[in-house]
A and B are shown apart, each in its own frame.
Chain A
Amino acid sequence: GENVEQHPSTLSVQEGDSAVIKCTYSDSASNYFPWYKQELGKGPQLIIDIRSNVGEKKDQRIAVTLNKTAKHFSLHITETQPEDSAVYFCAAIATAAGNKLTFGGGTRVLVKP
């Protein structure tokens, strides 16, 4: 089955700097890669996703890149703000298999004012 590894497990950045979280996956058939943000006391929320037919996707200050050959994908947050402090999860799925998402272990991001 699919295995997703996520690094780093914790990330501390100064407000205004960029943050990058990296994930690798094992199943070359995986073709959908969502990212979730979990704020304290809440459930994870989808913030951005990418499919295997594109290499990069942006939404305001967040972007995701995908390298299918190397089987890794990354989340980039620019101009970080205190409200970006949260736990972030990456995930992967091979949609043709009709199965379920496999999540990475999570990254706790702290943005220091």
Chain B
Amino acid sequence: DADVTQTPRNRITKTGKRIMLECSQTKGHDRMYWYRQDPGLGLRLIYYSFDVKDINKGEISDGYSVSRQAQAKFSLSLESAIPNQTALYFCATSDLPGDGYTFGSGTRLTVV
């Protein structure tokens, strides 16, 4: 099994719908992150969590919310999806600040 698992892998949803993207990890890491990647652009941080009780906004948090249900689970929600939220979403984990991140395989979200 993958260290960082994202579900679903692909999703098409309609404008205005609420959608949840899920991330689970078996690395035992405390730190988890949600990134968004648009075509031709880099990785932009949406939210991050350094432990179960810690949630922080990233650079593009508007229109998104997160839930850290357990050390191993970090979910991203779009409360009311809009077409410009169509993108590739990645979850990542890390242990200490000086360690590299482990990324999931991504969720391709299309909002129509």
Using a CB–CB cutoff of 8 Å, the interface residues on chain A facing chain B are 6, 31-32, 34, 36, 41-46, 49, 51, 89, 93, 95-101, 103-106
Of the listed stretches B12-20, B39-47, B70-78, B79-87, chain A binds B39-47
- Tell me if A95 and B98 are in contact (CB < 8 A): yes
Please state if B105 and A93 are interface contacts (CB–CB under 8 Å).
Answer: no
Which of A31, A97, A100 is in CB contact (< 8 Å) with B45?
A100
Instruction: With A32-B98, A93-B98, A98-B97 as known contacts, state yes or no: A43 contacts B104, CB within 8 Å.
Output: yes
- What total count of A-B pairs have CB within 8 Å? 57
- B64 part of interface (Cβ distance < 8 Å): no
Query: Who on chain B is nearest to A101 by CB?
Result: B101
- A95 neighbours in B (Cβ, 8 Å): 96-98
Is A42 a contact partner of B105 (Cβ separation < 8 A)? yes
Residue of A6, A41, A99, A105 touching B97 (CB-CB under 8 A)? A99
Q: Contact residue range for chain B?
A: 20 to 34
Q: Residues of B with Cβ closer than 8 Å to A? A: 4, 31, 33, 41-43, 45, 48, 50, 90, 92, 94, 96-98, 100-106
Residue of B nearest to A42 (CB): B105
Chain A contacts for B48, CB-based, 8 A: 100
Please name all residues of chain B whose beta carbon is closer than 8 Å to the beta carbon of A101 when the two chains form the complex.
Answer: 94, 101
**Please, which residues of chain B bring their CB within 8 A of the CB of A43?**
4, 90, 92, 103-106
B38 to chain A, nearest CB (A): 11
A sample of 16 cross-chain residue pairs with beta-carbon separation below 8 angstroms, ordered by A number, consists of: A31-B98, A34-B100, A41-B106, A42-B105, A44-B90, A45-B103, A46-B100, A93-B97, A93-B98, A95-B98, A97-B97, A100-B48, A101-B94, A101-B101, A104-B42, A106-B43
A51's nearest neighbour on chain B, judged by CB, is B98
Closest beta carbon of chain B to A46's beta carbon, Å: 4
CA distance A32 to B94 in the complex (A): 14
Given A100-B33, A100-B48, also A44-B43 (CB < 8 A) = yes
* Cα distance A31–B33 in the bound complex, in angstroms: 21
